[in-house]
Amino acid sequence: MTLLNQPAKLFEPAEAELIAADMQSEDPEWTYTVRHDPTRRGYSLIDVFDEDGEFVATV
């Protein structure tokens, strides 16, 4: 998956949790965290961090 060439997508919270868990299982060295929308509109983003904990992208 090319992360940097795609705009971030808003996911339903449960869907974001499932996708992040799937991504994490495929690449255990990187970290995929779900960031729920702070405006409380019900959507979430997935932030990606490399093996050194450096932010890479939001998907």
CB 13 within 8 A of CB 1: no
The number of distinct structural domains making up the chain is: 1
Low-confidence stretches of the chain (pLDDT beneath 70): 1-5
This prediction has a pTM of 0.82
pLDDT over 70 for what percent of the chain? Answer: 92
Residue 3: what pLDDT?
A: 57
Q: Give the domain range for residue 25.
A: 13-58
Look at residue 36 and give its three-state secondary structure.
strand
Give the torsion sign (CA, 21, 2, 28, 33).
negative
Residue 8 in any domain: the answer is: no
- C-alpha neighbours within 13 Å on the C-beta side of residue 25: 6
Residue 35 in any domain: the answer is: yes
Residue 24: what pLDDT?
A: 96
Q: ∠ at Cα 17 (13, 22), nearest 5°? A: 145
